[in-house]
Amino acid sequence: MATLERNSLIAAVIFDLDGVITNTVYFHYLSWQRLADEEGIPFDRQIHDGGMLGLNREDALCYLLGDRQVSSCQQQLLLARKNDYYLELINELNNEHLLPGIGSLLTELHAANIKIALGSSSKNAELVLQLLGIEHFFDFIADGYSVPNLKPAPDVFLHAAESLGISPSHCLIVEDAPAGVAAGLAAQMWVLGVGPYERLAQAHLILPSLAGVSWTDILAKIDYSRNLHKQPVSTESI
């Protein structure tokens, strides 16, 4: 019975895309770098990783532009150019670009009848999942087109949970960026941070990567966290 109770705690896992399932972060960086170089804007990997990780494309462009004033029309043209550069690069994506551990975790979740969703700010999310050959695992895809307010707002995760018919407190978010962790916590969901502790300290559970991590390991960590009274703030009992 204890196993059943524990397994019923999480009914859905909602994954972020960039930095969790695959590393399109590097392709994003290359696309921004090309745009910045063409526009004569000083830019490097450090600036990208320090301020733009986890931001949606509009906010990332604002960060890149800094004090430079551009009209909303110019802004759209710059975003379109950046996206064209990105699409050129990601056409080379394939199954080998899955981050370590994600393939086996998806297979395990599917076998355990846990619902699987994507909760990403990306507007190319479906294409990326197709190129990676894992689209069939996903019961629902919430992406940059799904809701007006992107992370750190909780909307994209709440939309995914509602579409799956699962209450937020039974959802686990897998995220690699502070904005995504904040979104998951605001949605009153369990949050697993994947990456360095200092970046993800607010998450309920933190792992350096998903390599070699099984669903059973994650459930055990959630159980442990519950015993420490770390859990999503909700009026609903779980």
CB of 29 to Ca ion, least distance (A): 13
CB of 108 to Ca ion, least distance (A): 21
CB of 121 to Ca ion, least distance (A): 8
- The 3-state DSSP composition of the chain as helix, strand, coil percent (nearest 5) reads 50, 10, 35
Residues 140-199 interacting with Ca ion (rule: CB under 5 A): 176-177
CA distance 66 to 60: 10
Q: Please pick, from the candidates 14, 16, 115, 124, the single residue that binds Ca ion as defined by CB under 5 A.
A: 16
From 13-21, 91-99, 144-152, 159-167, span contacting Ca ion (CB under 5 A): 13-21
Q: Which residues does the annotation mark as catalytic? A: 16, 18
Of 87, 112, 101, the closest CA to residue 24 belongs to: 87
Closest CB to Ca ion belongs to which residue? 19
CA 168 to the chain's CA centroid: 16
Query: Is residue 156 helix, strand or coil?
Result: helix
Question: In this chain, which of 19, 119, 154, 168 binds Ca ion, going by CB under 5 A?
Answer: 19
Which residue of 10, 14, 15, 18 would you call a contact of Ca ion, by CB under 5 A?
18
Pairing type for strands 171-175 and 190-194 reads: parallel
Q: Which positions lie near Ca ion, rule CB under 5 A?
A: 16, 18-19, 176-177
